[in-house]
Amino acid sequence: MSGGGRAGARGCDGTWEPRPAERWEDAFLSGNGRHGAMVYGDPVDDRVIVNHHALVRPNGSEHTRPPLLADGLGSLQDALLAGDITAAEEFGAGNPLVWVQPFHPAFQTRIRRAPAPVARPGGVTRYRRTVDFTTGEIGASHEDWRSRVFVSRADDVVVQYVTCFGLTADLTLDHALPGAPPNLAISRSTVLTSDGARLALHVGYPDSDLGYTGVTAVRADGGTVTVSGEGIRIAGARSLLLLTRVRRHAGGPDLAGDWAALPRADFDALLARHQPLHRTAYERATLTLHTDPEERALPGSELVRRTGSPTLLERLFAAGRYHLLSASGVLPPRLTGLWTGDWDTAWSGAFTTNANLNLQIASAAATALPEVSEAHASLVYGQLADWRDNARAIFGARGIVAPSHTDGESGHTRHFQRAYPLHLWTAGAHWLLQPLLEHAGACGVTDPRLAGALIEVADFYTDFLTRSTPDGALAFVPSYSPENRPANASWGTVNATMDLAAARHALTTAAELSPGHPDAARWRTLADRLPPYLVNEDGALTEWAWPGLRETYDHRHLSHLYPVWPLTAINPYDTPELAVAAHRALELRGSENDSAHGHLHHALVAARLRDGARAAGALNAVLTGDFFHDSLMSSHYPSRDVYNADAAHALPAAVVEMLVQSAPGRLVLLPAPPAALPAGELRGVQTWFGAGVDLTWSGDGHATAVLHPTRDARIDVRTGDGFALDGTPGAEAAPTENSAGTPVALLDLTAGVDRVLTLGPR
């Protein structure tokens, strides 16, 4: 979409609007995982909000360390096991609730034309604003004015290029965005150069020696450049090239060094260096549906109103992968991805780890975005020292305990409340390591840091799991299921199902990855002593495997279904009875406040349980709930309430899970295909066992899957309820029927040799 003209190579690799953005939430987005840009595309007042992952405002929490609570742990455990349902409310309750440092925007570059063009009747005419997902370039055009913006992966700089015959405009770096604190320390510098100017904005945080500096090099083609007010005036130029970079630091700015570090290349050279890096990553996986060409030509703001359209799902899938890739680099995506136009971000714009972060990155391994997995690894491995502090201070244990919120700098637990006692959540380390296990499965290489971290998780459980019941089963106490509570007890309880699943998987996986470790046998023994999952009188898998605790079904989180997704400990093939109980628990689960992450979590679990109608219904709740801004970035609540990346980033994962699922040694094709996707092609899916999958399906119920193995494997192939394997070339055994009536084919894969599976109606 160079200059904003084309609609993407497949017709779905971009979106467009017929008007400039009026709200920052509707601004088109570009990013390289470090810097982000939000583009309004206004030919009169051209604004680009600049973001950076490191921009978090000090609020005192950066110095907070976990309180020393371990001495009181034994008495708490005794009380909970004795039946005191409120005992955990006092454990840590005297500590203040401290939010992490809030994420905020840097400033906006602002080019105001002077005098402004005369408005035409009916507003802006002959206008088009576009974003090309394949390149990350945002374009806007109106009459003779044209803007092109991208964030370079090669040069780590925000690039803006404006052309207009005889352009006369005022340019400033404007920090006064909504919610900006009134007592920021602001200083500016403007230096004229032979071909333009260099602008700098330094912002110091209140009561801190920290701050950030933004520098912009401006190059004008023709005309004159003069200092004007807090910026510059350009008169009679043919074009402007702006290169912007932001740096957070202590002390004063180093303007000479910052300006010198900006590249000297022209726009075309910068774009040429950037494009291959972005395009290669984005194009590894694609979803192409049989859709109406006329719908493909619609702007996003109109398409999102056609909630039952396959074209909408196709574009949101593409946009979700684009935004996820663009937000991931030095860190994975925050609650707002990499972008915000307001200093007052909901929940501090943090990384909320007990659901949101993992849901956002759920498609990383499957849709071949190792850049996202590597960004997640940077966050996790960079905080292990703080996680060790949490384990020692709160639980008196070795190993690691992850926090429920982090700003990307500190991993210390600091969220203490009687309600929502997030400091009691001990499953977090395993939950956050699980996406890295999926990445290792896809690429076939286990990072030594991953094996080491899992050993530390096992060490924690070894020290923590010291209480048992009369029958010899270990008791997980205290235990917390984010962010729910039993109907008849307080928040901190015993044997939350998520805790049991995390501990069992962590202990066995640590032993598998480090079989020579002296504690490997002990870890397996501990895993075997964990209590079984519990099924209640409703036939549902319970959220707490402890007698007497009653369920609270209407809740946005589905933490107790962790054994189903992302783990495969409960599945319809190996544990059919527990799968039925898990499905019943899903049937009974409400949506509480209609948070987007709750709906998509529901869709992911339903797809694993082969319930296509329920998965599609959960996905449809997001499509029909007015969750998407014109930018195709999403909101946390319906009616575009609270800018939030959960729906945008998690949607591709839900679609993939409906069509292709993999686990170690297993491939499931079309497990839960939604009726809204009657025909199409999903290419580039990566599996746990190191094979790529290209799936094509048609409206008559026939499908073909082509496997591209990268290493040898022997896999169990399954199909959805409406499909049967017609043939399995290369398989040692012909399809057989299991007790559930599902075809099974044992298929030997050889690295580099494709296998073709054909499916037809059963």
pLDDT digits (tens, 9 = 90+) for 674-687: 887 889 999 999 99
Report whether 389 contacts 400 (CB < 8 A). Answer: no
Single-letter amino acid, residue 354 = N
Task: State percent of the chain over pLDDT 90.
Answer: 87
pLDDT digits (tens, 9 = 90+) for 602-634: 999 999 999 999 999 999 999 999 999 999 999
**Average pLDDT over every residue of 702-715:** 95
pLDDT digits (tens, 9 = 90+) for 219-239: 999 999 999 999 999 999 999
Report whether 657 contacts 668 (CB < 8 A). Answer: no
**In Å, what is the CA distance from 144 to each residue of 120, 147, 532, 751?**
14, 10, 69, 54
Q: End-to-end alpha-carbon separation of the chain, Å?
A: 43
pLDDT digits (tens, 9 = 90+) for 631-683: 999 999 999 999 999 999 999 999 999 999 999 999 999 999 988 788 999 99
Q: What is the pTM of this model?
A: 0.96
**In Å, what is the CA distance from 428 to each residue of 270, 372, 397, 676?**
41, 19, 15, 35
pLDDT score recorded for residue 312: 96
Compute the distance between CA of residue 361 and CA of residue 437 in angstroms, rounded to an integer: 13
pLDDT tier for residue 741 given thresholds of 50, 70 and 90: very low
pLDDT score recorded for residue 4: 37
pLDDT score recorded for residue 699: 86
pLDDT digits (tens, 9 = 90+) for 105-162: 999 999 999 877 655 445 556 899 999 999 999 999 999 999 999 999 999 999 999 9
pLDDT digits (tens, 9 = 90+) for 313-366: 999 999 999 999 999 999 999 999 999 999 999 999 999 999 999 999 999 999
pLDDT digits (tens, 9 = 90+) for 418-463: 888 999 999 999 999 999 999 999 999 999 999 999 999 999 999 9
Output the CA torsion sign for 91, 94, 99, 100.
negative
Structural domains of the chain in order of their starting residue, each with its CATH number: 2-55+103-116+125-284 (2.70.98.50), 669-761 (2.60.40.1180)
pLDDT score recorded for residue 123: 52
Mean pLDDT, rounded, of the chain: 94
- On the question of pLDDT at 570 being above 60, the answer is yes
Compute the distance between CA of residue 395 and CA of residue 389 in angstroms, rounded to an integer: 10
Per-position b or e across 248-259, b if 16+ CB within 10 A of its CB: beeeebeeeebb
**In Å, what is the CA distance from 656 to each residue of 15, 314, 410, 596, 689?**
21, 12, 33, 18, 16
Compute the distance between CA of residue 381 and CA of residue 506 in angstroms, rounded to an integer: 17
pLDDT tier for residue 409 given thresholds of 50, 70 and 90: very high
- On the question of pLDDT at 8 being above 50, the answer is no
**In Å, what is the CA distance from 624 to each residue of 360, 616, 619?**
20, 12, 9
Single-letter amino acid, residue 58 = P
pLDDT tier for residue 95 given thresholds of 50, 70 and 90: confident
Environment class of residue 552 by beta-carbon count within 10 Å: exposed (0-12), middle (13-18) or buried (19+)? middle
Paired strand residues for 493? 479
Report the residue count for the chain.
762
**In Å, what is the CA distance from 360 to each residue of 262, 330, 460, 701?**
32, 16, 27, 31
Tokens of 461: 């459980």
Q: Is 345 helix (H, G, I), strand (E, B) or coil?
A: coil
The helix/strand count (H/E) of the chain reads as 17, 31
Compute the distance between CA of residue 72 and CA of residue 314 in angstroms, rounded to an integer: 53
Compute the distance between CA of residue 215 and CA of residue 204 in angstroms, rounded to an integer: 15
**Average pLDDT over every residue of 470-476:** 93
DSSP secondary structure letters along 615-675: HHHHHHHHHTTT-B-TTS-BEEETTTEEE-SHHHHHHHHHHHHHHEEEETTEEEESSS--T
- On the question of pLDDT at 6 being above 50, the answer is no
